Structure 1
Amino acid sequence: MSLLWIKALHLFFMVAWMAGIFYLPRLFVYHSQTDNQAVKDQFKIMERRLWWFVTPFAFLTLIFGVWLVGAYGASWFKAAHWLHIKLLLVAAIYIYHFYLYHLVKQFSCDVNQHSSRFYRILNEAPVLILLAVVCLAVVKML
């Protein structure tokens, strides 16, 4: 497969994944604000389905990213210092992704321990990390 196709698929799956993990905490905001059990039950379904829908995109992003690094080779990887920082930031996004799963499980048991403000901040935090990841990938400085 052409390197450009691998990059295109890596980017596509990353965008699909990010769309989901940007929306999931927004659902948590609304979920945390309601007292209506029927509405809470609907949010539980939406949150669970969304997390399971975007998780394969996270894995496909990883697979195509590793494929890209392998295609460029070990000497390139060693010299690409920007990539080392990017990978640390990407690891933080994966940790964030699985933390969202933890929250999905808490909400599914009606055990919400946070305010809607917490979820608003949680919703916005990964945007800055993604900005840094994109800048590093495009500018390739450091």
Structure 2
Amino acid sequence: MSDILIIAYPWVKALHVMAVLSWMAGLFYLPRLFVYHAERATRGDQLDETLQVMEHKLLRFIMNPAMVVAWVCGLIMVFTPGIVGWDWVWPWTKGAAVLAMTWFHHWAAKERKVFAKGTASKTGRQYRMMNELPTLFMVVIVLSVIVKF
């Protein structure tokens, strides 16, 4: 089994990078849609309906599949012999940031449902502030993997 993982590693890594790029694009864009939704839309108007469709499709057809593929490929790489040393710090910092990013994904999914119900109470400013979290997680992940601190 380990031979298969080693042979597949470059392909799994490439797929992982593509999935992470797609996931991150969604994590950056969905809260931005929430800003517009909170600041410019009124419950039931055309903009509200348009934003709800955009938010739903972004989450369901791009972000959710990308997150699953990123997680699956990431776990495959973790179990590939010689890739991760658990006595190093970087796998733990990356893992913590990935868990935090996954929490953010689920928070955004919950917020989308709040907009769909018409019970959103956060301001555009609050969504702008939340929109900074994926960038923070990305910085920790990239520095962990590249610099291996």
- Please classify the TM superposition score into its range, dividing by the shorter chain length: over 0.9
Mapped contact 2:93–2:140 kept (Cα < 8 A): no
Match of 2:115 among 85, 107, 111: 107
Q: Post-superposition shift, 1:81?
A: 2.0
Partners of 2:59 and 2:32 in 1: CA distance: 13
Cα deviation digits, residues 24-48 of structure 1 (max 9, x gap):
0000000111244111111111101
Q: Contact (CA 8 Å) 1:82, 1:140: kept in 2 or not?
A: yes
User: 1:62 maps to which residue?
Assistant: 71
Determine the structure 2 residue equivalent to 1:84: 92
The within-5 A match list for 1:40-51 is: 40-51=48-59
- Structure 2: state its 5+ residue gaps: 1-6
Give, in whole Å, the separation in 1 of the partners of 2:136 and 2:70.
19
Percent identity over the alignment is 31
Cross-structure match for 1:121: 129
The residue type equivalent to 1:28 in the other structure is F
- Look up the SS of the partner of 2:80 in the other structure: helix
Q: Deviations over 1:68-115 (max 9, x none)?
A: 0101359x4422321011101110000000000100000001111100
SS for the counterpart of 2:79 is helix
Query: What is the match of residue 3 of structure 2?
Result: none
Judge conservation of contact 1:69–1:77 (CA < 8 Å) in 2: no
Gaps of 5+ in 1: none
Alpha-carbon distance between aligned partners in 1 of 2:25 and 2:78, rounded to the nearest angstrom: 24
Cα root mean square deviation, aligned = 1.5
TM-score by length of 2: 0.88
More helix by share: 1
Partner of 2:8: 2
Task: Tell me if 1:12 matches 2:21.
Answer: no
**Residue in 2 aligned with 1:72?**
81
Q: Where has structure 1 moved over 3 Å in runs of 4 or more?
A: none
Alpha-carbon distance in 1 for matches of 2:70, 2:110:
21
Give distance in 1, aligned partners of 2:111 and 2:9: 37
Name the counterpart of 1:24.
30
| Aligned length in residues | 140
Please point out which of 111, 118, 143 is paired with 1:135.
143
